Amino acid sequence: MTLHPIRLTVNGKSEEASVPAAMTLLEFLRERLYLTGAKEGCGAGECGACTVLLDGLPVTACLVLAVEGDGREVRTVEGEAKATGLSVLQRAFIEEGAIQCGFCTPGMIMSARGLLDRNPNPTDAEIVEAIAGNLCRCTGYEAIVAAIRRAAKEERDRR
């Protein structure tokens, strides 16, 4: 099996590795970099638990090969918190009770991050559309939509 050298930026840090062709970006993040925030739910791009930002855009990391990440910038939920503590978005999830079992949360946060980066003032319909690819079996979504709405407002107020 051929190993492919890759160089990519993950949460602002430059990473170099050699990966087999069949390794997914999700496996690379979890098993090589020990960034276990992104989860494997379905492994088929249906559930969104593995959502990360690839060059700023949400993608399902289970359907991206690690070798395709070469030269790209990846952001995971681990990059969301800063040294000063949780991000506004993460705190909003806690404050709105948008977390129950937590399995979908890293993917939800990254879909929300991608949305707020491209649209700081989303409508509820735009929030629903942005997280339509993220399944949550606990919360019923209302609290998640409320959390993203709240984070959007707080992030705007801080600007």
Partner 1 sequence: MLGEFEYARAKTVRGGCALLAEAGGKATILAGGTDLLVNIRAGKASPRLLVDLKGVKSLDRLTVSPKTGASIGASVPLNTIVENRGIRTRYPGLAEAAWTVGSYQIRNRATIAGNLCNASPAADTAPPLLVLDAILEVASPRGEREVPVRSLFVDSKKTSLSFDEVVTAIRIPPVPATTRTAFLKKQRVKGHDLAILNVAGRYDPATGDLQIAIGSCAKTPVLVPPLGEPVPPDAPIPELARRLEALAIQVVHPISDLRATAEYRRALLPVFIRRLLEALLQQSDHREAIR
Does the protein bind partner 1 through residue 142 (CB under 8 A)?
Answer: no
Segment interacting with partner 1 (CB under 8 A) among 55-63, 88-96, 97-105, 142-150: 55-63
Does the protein bind partner 1 through residue 49 (CB under 8 A)?
Answer: no
The position carrying tokens 């991000």 is: 87
The residue among 54 and 151 lying less far from partner 1, judged by its C-beta, is 54
Q: Which of 10, 54, 136, 143 binds partner 1 (CB under 8 A)?
A: 54
Segment interacting with partner 1 (CB under 8 A) among 9-17, 32-40, 50-58, 84-92: 50-58
> Which helix (H) or strand (E) segment is 6 a member of?
strand 3-10
Does the protein bind partner 1 through residue 94 (CB under 8 A)?
Answer: no
Contact map string, positions 66 to 85, toward partner 1, x by CB under 8 A: -xx-----------------
Count of positions on this chain that bind partner 1 (CB under 8 A): 35
Q: How many distinct helices (H) and strands (E) make up the chain?
A: 5, 5
Q: Which of 5, 7, 18, 22 binds partner 1 (CB under 8 A)?
A: 22
Angle between helices 88-95 and 142-158 (to 10 degrees): 140
Q: Show Cβ contacts of residue 73 under 8 Å, excluding neighbours closer than 6 positions.
A: 8, 9, 53, 54, 55, 56
**Ordered DSSP codes for 46-110:** SS-TTEEEETTEEEEGGGSBGGGGTT-EEE-GGGTSBTTBS-HHHHHHHHTT--SS-SSHHHHHH
Contact positions toward partner 1, by CB under 8 A?
Answer: 1-2, 4, 20-24, 27, 43-46, 48, 51, 54, 57-60, 62-65, 67-68, 111, 114, 125, 128-130, 132-134
